Chains A and B, each alone.
Chain A
Amino acid sequence: MTSQMAAGRSRAGALASGIPAETVLRVSGLRMNYGSTEVLKGVDLTARRGEVIALLGPNGAGKTTTIEILEGFRRRSAGEVDVLGSDPDHGDEEWRSRLGVVLQSWRDHGAWRVRDLLHHFGRFYAPYSKTDHVRPHDTGVLLDLVGLTEHANQKIRTLSGGQRRRLDVAIGIVGRPEVLFLDEPTAGFDPRARRDFHDLVFRLADEEDTTILLTTHDLDEAEKLADRILLLAGGRIVADGSPDQLSSLIASESEVAWTVGEQRHVHATDTPARHVAELYAQHGEDLTDLRVSRPSLEDVYMAMVQRYESGDAERAADEFTKEIR
């Protein structure tokens, strides 16, 4: 691959050159019905190479359904879906070798040892190895990467919930996927494991140019990890943008809190900078404990979900997409 091509395709190259990276995932008008229930009512989304996208939404919003359709595990009712140039419904084994799927595990392969299972699943990717993209990951290196080296010879049924989840992640990336799907990857992680997982996601996106689509209920996590956040509610994407974009949209008012003497004050304003300047002009050195907080992603989320639940989803969605685009 020439450096020029690489610049046009990868995320790092895209950042450097300003040319957008190649689109690897494109969904338009995706609909899914279960019997007479409409779960997805026209979902549109795209993802570029190396992008990390978080899919948020209340339980039952259709996050898992969306991911399973993209993984090729579920047939859609209608709409166009393109993942790495193929329709997931007709994706062949070569196509599958370029995907990573992190599954929720339960008690499968309980009698297997950690190293054996990881090595076993890695073997299936060996024929798809290329000189510039060696598959699969070396088992030892990967175990180290997810922090399971000391448990490598343990039977899987003896692992803790968090350790099992790390193994799930390792199995998901053993084939060095170009697109990785993660459905609630950090459920059951302690803060340390969560931090390690976040580092791993950054590493995959930055160094391997992996496109990552994950669902989560942890809004801080989404804010930290994602280049772009999609909010799914009522079977539609009702918000799509970077964490900053979303925060700036929902409520224009920031909260300014300060102390003068013993007295604590709070004021909501849409021009926090001017307000702070006025405060300083007025109180000078007496002004202490100054704090300006923008609306958090949680506020955005709650507001959007509330709008949806009050039956205003369509208008809300239109509003948002108009403002962002």
Chain B
Amino acid sequence: MNTSVGLGANAVRAGLSRGLIEFRGSMTNPQEVLLGYLMLPAMFLGMALFLGDNEAGGITSGMTIIFSGLVTMIAMLGMATTAQVIATEREDGTLLRCRAVPHGMIGYTVGKTVHILLMSVLAMSLLLVPALLFVDGVAVQGWTGALALVWVCLLGLATLASIGAIIGALISNPRLVVGLAMLPVMVLVGISGIFFPMAFLPGWLQTVAMVFPIYWIGEGLRAALFPAEALAAGEFGVAQLPLVAGVLALWTVLGFLVAQRVLRRMARRTSGSRVQAAREEAMKRAY
């Protein structure tokens, strides 16, 4: 009767409700709503509405700004938020508490995934829905475009979240994590042709950018949002969606494999006295 599959499934169900409860908790926390959901969408929407009228070759500057905003948000939510959450919850004992119950780590992982996913979907809709309605030129390119929008966002989030989890697990001080996770996010977004064409960059830097997933998320989203003829005429060229899917899938698999090992190691090293030590350390900093 007690098969291990059944036991795991019970923990997965508990994890699902955990994610929903945490999401509800986030929604009722004004500070989190403001910083986590509203700030970035409002910023990019504002820019797009005020500066979005220029058009060159079938692409309005509004479209470019919304596109940059989407990629930035995927990167921030996936990498920086995940890294910070993991580091914080290891320090404050959340992880340890989950580890003390049977199959608790399954519950924790599922819960965290659901929570971050719901949060990201909400935050991105808050940017995308008003943009589709009010910003000139922003439109989804047919069914293929709509589909691409969904899978690029999900795959991109999954990839970056596993990288974020690795960063969060490796850095012990959660106050350092924000900075240390933001830095690579900013650099990668900067060199991946999200805010300005890559042609300005030296060739070797372009190659570096193309190794990392953010460049490919950009490629995918461009194909979803920009008309093909405009892309073909511009400096980006038409995106190779199958290639995008392949690279992102490879990154996701790699990320999951490494993240799983690193998180296991982190969980093994979590104990009450380490949480206690972190607490005393935090008290000394007095905040």
Q: Chain A interface (Cβ within 8 Å of chain B)?
A: 64-65, 67-68, 71, 73-74, 93-94, 96-97, 99, 101, 103-109, 111-112, 116, 120-121, 123-128, 171, 175, 183
Question: Is B14 an interface residue, CB under 8 A from the partner?
Answer: yes
Are the C-beta atoms of A183 and B7 separated by less than 8 Å? no
Question: Is B89 an interface residue, CB under 8 A from the partner?
Answer: yes
What are the residues of chain B within 8 A of A104 when measuring CB–CB? 93, 272, 275-276
What are the residues of chain A within 8 A of B272 when measuring CB–CB? 64, 67-68, 73, 103-104, 183
Are the C-beta atoms of A107 and B103 separated by less than 8 Å? no
Are the C-beta atoms of A112 and B21 separated by less than 8 Å? yes
Interface SS of chain B: helix
Say yes or no: A127-B14 contact (C-beta < 8 A), given A68-B273, A73-B270, A104-B276: no
Question: Is B133 an interface residue, CB under 8 A from the partner?
Answer: no
What are the residues of chain B within 8 A of A101 when measuring CB–CB? 100
Question: Is B271 an interface residue, CB under 8 A from the partner?
Answer: yes
What are the residues of chain A within 8 A of B26 when measuring CB–CB? 111
Q: Please, how many angstroms separate the alpha-carbon atoms of A96 and B7 in the complex? A: 13
> 5 nearest interchain CB pairs?
A111-B25, A108-B94, A97-B102, A93-B102, A73-B271
Are the C-beta atoms of B93 and A105 separated by less than 8 Å? yes
Given contacts A73-B271, A103-B100, A124-B10, 15 further A-B contacts (CB under 8 A): A65-B273, A96-B101, A97-B102, A101-B100, A103-B97, A104-B276, A106-B92, A106-B93, A108-B89, A112-B25, A121-B97, A123-B14, A124-B101, A124-B102, A175-B101
Q: Please, how many angstroms separate the alpha-carbon atoms of A109 and B89 in the complex? A: 9
Q: For residue B236, give the distance in angstroms from its CB to the closest CB of chain A.
A: 42
Q: Please, how many angstroms separate the alpha-carbon atoms of A6 and B104 in the complex? A: 31
Q: For residue B86, give the distance in angstroms from its CB to the closest CB of chain A.
A: 13
What are the residues of chain A within 8 A of B92 when measuring CB–CB? 106-108
Q: Please, how many angstroms separate the alpha-carbon atoms of A64 and B276 in the complex? A: 11
What are the residues of chain B within 8 A of A67 when measuring CB–CB? 272
What are the residues of chain A within 8 A of B103 when measuring CB–CB? 93, 124
The CB with the most chain A CB atoms within 10 A, among B11, B14, B89, is that of B14
Are the C-beta atoms of B271 and A109 separated by less than 8 Å? no
Kindly identify, within residues 80 to 103 of chain B, every residue whose CB is under 8 Å from any CB belonging to chain A: 89, 92-94, 96-97, 99-103
Q: How many A-B residue pairs have CB under 8 A?
A: 92
Are the C-beta atoms of A120 and B97 separated by less than 8 Å? no
What are the residues of chain B within 8 A of A65 when measuring CB–CB? 273
Partner of A125, one of B96, B102, B276: B102
Question: Is B264 an interface residue, CB under 8 A from the partner?
Answer: no
Are the C-beta atoms of B107 and A124 separated by less than 8 Å? yes
Are the C-beta atoms of B97 and A108 separated by less than 8 Å? yes
Closest to B6 in A: A127
A-B contact pairs, 17 of them (CB 8 A): A68-B271, A68-B272, A73-B99, A93-B7, A96-B101, A97-B101, A103-B97, A104-B276, A105-B97, A106-B92, A108-B89, A108-B92, A109-B94, A112-B22, A123-B13, A124-B14, A175-B102
What are the residues of chain B within 8 A of A99 when measuring CB–CB? 100
Q: Please, how many angstroms separate the alpha-carbon atoms of A99 and B99 in the complex? A: 12
Q: Please, how many angstroms separate the alpha-carbon atoms of A165 and B70 in the complex? A: 43
Kindly identify, within residues 248 to 287 of chain B, every residue whose CB is under 8 Å from any CB belonging to chain A: 270-273, 275-276, 279
Q: Please, how many angstroms separate the alpha-carbon atoms of A105 and B6 in the complex? A: 31
Question: Is B113 an interface residue, CB under 8 A from the partner?
Answer: no
Question: Is B144 an interface residue, CB under 8 A from the partner?
Answer: no
What are the residues of chain B within 8 A of A108 when measuring CB–CB? 89, 92-94, 97
Question: Is B29 an interface residue, CB under 8 A from the partner?
Answer: yes
Q: Please, how many angstroms separate the alpha-carbon atoms of A109 and B26 in the complex? A: 12
Are the C-beta atoms of B17 and A120 separated by less than 8 Å? yes
What are the residues of chain B within 8 A of A126 when measuring CB–CB? 10
Binary CB contact string for chain B from 1 to 42 against chain A (1 if under 8 A, 0 otherwise): 010001100110110011001100110110000000000000
Q: Please, how many angstroms separate the alpha-carbon atoms of A180 and B34 in the complex? A: 42
Closest to A183 in B: B272
Are the C-beta atoms of A64 and B273 separated by less than 8 Å? yes
What are the residues of chain B within 8 A of A68 when measuring CB–CB? 271-273
Q: Please, how many angstroms separate the alpha-carbon atoms of A207 and B275 in the complex? A: 33
